Structure 1
Amino acid sequence: MIVIVVGGGKVGYYLSKTLLEHGHEPRIIEINRDLCQKCANDLDIPVIIGDGTTIKSLGEAGADEADALICVTGKDEDNLVACELGKRVYNIKRTVARVNNPKNASIMKRLGVDIPISSTDNIARLLEREVDSAAIKNLMSLNRGETSLSEIALPADFKYSGKTLAEIHLPEDSVIVSISRNDQIIIPRGSTVLQAGDHIITITKDNTLHELSRQLGL
């Protein structure tokens, strides 16, 4: 997942580091040259020196191919403007804005920001649950948000249709609990075959949710 992060300060730095560790492709836009240098040297990812509230900088970061835009500067107005540009100019499907003043959260939501969030601790985890796929529905968070119980609808063009679970090799930290097919519940085994249109219930650590989505070809 290609994610543009506007703001290369402490929040943007550690957010990008977390996204990188989870297998995503973060790209940072930061106006401060020293912060850009630190992010580029430490993380070895694309870093654009510029203003994230401009079409030019977003374009240089590859906004036309980005899956998500996360704005975590210290100014709510900048985060809002960057999200609106990403959504309206580049059609980025998910925008996330750090809200420094909690009173601005509802305003940001009304103005089109998909996910305004005042706590920055779980932005990466929240993003993975919201962005990875419309086919994934989070049912419940477990173990203080580190694990999720999710429902996944396998699409009509599911590439593993007809394959057994043993043949698919799901990520280690994910388990398929049940399969719903034609109003019947199937308790899966290694020899169980998955089919397009199935609805599966999984328990997955949040840092492997993206990997599970990728493995299933969603």
Structure 2
Amino acid sequence: MKVAIAGAGAVGRSIARELLANEHMVMLLERNADHIDVDAIPKAQWVYADACELASLEEAQLQDFDVVVAATGDDKANVVLSLLAKTEFGVRRVVARVNDPRNEWLFNESWGVDVAVSTPRMLASLVEEAVSVGDLVQLMTLRQGQANLIEVTLPADTALAGKPVRKVELPRDAALVTILRGGRVIVPQPDDPLEGGDELLFVAAVEVEDELRAAIGLAPAEPS
């Protein structure tokens, strides 16, 4: 897979290293000459360019990439690049970094964003996940806000204890994807029994989250 990453700061470099370790091809676009350090990531293709300039993106042949990651520290630059990547170059998948949660409303399909990643929101979700038992915690938004990756830790006295997965009547647009139990990661099978303390990971459409709560025996969400 060919991935173009705009922004060669700490975030962009970390993403590049992970992708290269998984044997993907990576191009780093950076407009600040002080951030360009080919020796730091020699396997990446480094390009000194402004990722918001159409001519620079044409020269970099962005149309040949499978994924664009807008990872700069400037939200305005990230949404402009996302829009250009999607509309001008037909990039199939665009992932954008959200630096200021107040700007999240911009990072949607209208601006070419397929996946928006807000570090502050993710950290808050992880804090909630660490302390919340018996409630839904949204870990990540998927498909421009149409669905969420959701975690719930079953309480020790859950009514689901001993019940096989196939007996849990989930709503149509929700799926149990993983059970975390102690140090194990379990791909759920129909006859696997649930236990108190299990961490369940679901992907669910936003509109069925109340039904999902009811299916796993949780109290309705309090009105905001």
TM-score range (shorter-chain normalised) is 0.5 to 0.7
Aligned AA for 1:61? Answer: A
From 174, 177, 189, give the equivalent of 1:140.
177
Alignment-derived partner of residue 64 in structure 2: 65
Q: Does the 8 A contact of 1:4 with 1:61 survive in 2?
A: no
Query: How far has the Cα of 1:82 moved from its partner?
Result: 0.4
1:83-130 Cα offsets, whole Å, 9 max, x none, are 1000011000111110011122222114331111112989xxxxxx99
> Which residue is equivalent to 1:113?
113
Higher relative contact order (CA 8 A, sep 6+): 1
Question: Does residue 76 of the first structure (1) align with residue 75 of the second (2)?
Answer: yes
1:83 aligned counterpart, secondary structure: helix
State how far apart, in whole Å, the 2-side matches of 1:46 and 1:4 are: 9
Letter in 1 for 2:61: G
Question: Between Structure 1 and Structure 2, how many residues are aligned?
Answer: 137
- 2:11 is aligned to 11
In 1: Cα distance, 2:178 partner to 2:98 partner: 23
Q: Is the 8 A contact 1:48 1:60 kept in 2?
A: no
1:47 paired residue number: 46
> 1:61: Cα distance to partner?
2.7
Instruction: Tell me the secondary structure at the aligned position of residue 41 of structure 1.
Output: coil
For 1:142 and 1:61, the matched residues in 2 are separated by 42
- Deviation for aligned residue 1:56: 2.1
TM-score (ref. length: structure 1): 0.55
Q: TM-score scaled to structure 2, two decimals?
A: 0.53
Residue 100 of structure 2 is matched in structure 1 by 101
List gaps (5 residues or longer) in structure 2.
124-141, 144-174, 191-224
Q: Could you say if the C-alpha distance between residues 81 and 16 of structure 1 is closer, same or farther in structure 2, counting changes exceeding 3 Å?
A: same
Distance 2:53 2:185 in 1: 37
Q: What is the identity, as a one-letter code, of the residue corresponding to 2:5?
A: V
Against the structure 1 CA distance between its residues 149 and 16, is the aligned structure 2 distance closer, same or farther, given a 3 Å change threshold? farther
Identity across matched positions, percent: 29
SS state at 1:74 partner: coil
Q: How does 1:149-188 map to 2 (within 5 A)?
A: 149=187
CA contact (8 A) 2:3 2:65 kept: yes
Instruction: Confirm or deny: 8 A CA contact 1:3 1:26 kept in the other structure.
Output: yes
Distance 1:72 1:47 in 2: 15
Give the whole-Å Cα distance in 2 for the aligned partners of 1:24 and 1:108. Answer: 25
Q: Which has the larger radius of gyration?
A: 2
Note closer, same or farther for the CA distance 1:31–1:114 as it changes in structure 2 (3 Å cut): same
Give the structure 2 partner of residue 158 of structure 1. none
List structure 1 segments (4+ residues) > 6 angstroms apart after TM superposition.
Answer: none
| Residue in 2 that maps onto 1:194 | none
- Counterpart amino acid of 1:58? L
In structure 1, runs of 5+ residues without a counterpart are 123-128, 131-137, 151-176, 179-218
Alpha carbons of structure 1 residues 149 and 26: separation in structure 2 relative to 1, 3 Å: farther
Residue 75 of structure 1 deviates from its aligned partner by 0.8
Structure 1 residues 53-92: Cα deviation after superposition (integer angstroms, max 9, x where no partner): 1122222333111000001111101000001000011000
* Pair 1:43–1:83, CA change in 2 (3 A): same
